[in-house]
Amino acid sequence: MSRGCDQSTSEKISFISLTDKWVNLIWPYMEPESQEMPKSWPKSKEDLLQWALGTKRKQTIADRSLILRIEDGGDHLNPVGIITGDLVRGLNSETFPGAKLGDVNIAYFVFAKYRGQGIAQYALNEVRQAWQEDKKNPVLRIAPDNFASQAVAKGAGFIYHETVFVKDREFFIFKPA
């Protein structure tokens, strides 16, 4: 279970929009852990490129972003994870059970090397706040056995709302408290 992000850690976390220009840099971090990522996320470098190309519009940290950590000395940014927010619209509403039109499905992933440092909780809290400021309702779909992600969600101000089934898979729905 990750602990909360302390002041010094939060000052070292930054976000940048995931674009096609980042694919070559980020894929070596993602590839070894691609099977652990949310099922809808890219599982190949080519898929990651297409996923990133879909984000050419003006973005905020609440869209599809790399989570970066500023290394000691402040002269190097290191990718430590990805966080996304997909607005539920008519065309994709069946993809996000437990969410309704206008909600935002949020998914996040911190690379194994950086887990347990409060990074995911800090990033999720920042993205939750950004979407709520935009008058949208963030929604998380988390597998019942993903206890670490459930702890991150609770630490970022989400509470369990309901259980849904998608193609024989069970998900817990978390929404802001």
pLDDT tens string 151-176: 999 999 999 999 998 778 899 999 99
> Is residue 2 one of the residues assigned to a domain?
no
> Is residue 34 one of the residues assigned to a domain?
yes
pTM summary value: 0.82
> Is residue 98 one of the residues assigned to a domain?
yes
Amino acid at 59: Q
> Is residue 122 one of the residues assigned to a domain?
yes
Q: How far is CA 57 from CA 10, 19, 52, 60, 89, in A?
A: 27, 10, 11, 10, 17
Q: What is the pLDDT of residues 4-33, one digit of tens each?
A: 455 455 568 888 888 788 888 889 888 888
Looking up residue 39, the CATH number of its domain turns out to be 3.40.630.30
3-state class of 160 per DSSP?
A: strand
Instruction: Quickly count: other Cβ atoms within 10 Å of residue 92's Cβ.
Output: 13
The pLDDT value given to residue 119: 93
The pLDDT value given to residue 3: 42
> Is residue 102 one of the residues assigned to a domain?
yes
Largest CA distance in the chain: 49
Average pLDDT on 102-108 reads 88
In the chain, how many domains are there?
1
> Is residue 1 one of the residues assigned to a domain?
no
Residue numbers of the domain that contains 84: 7-176
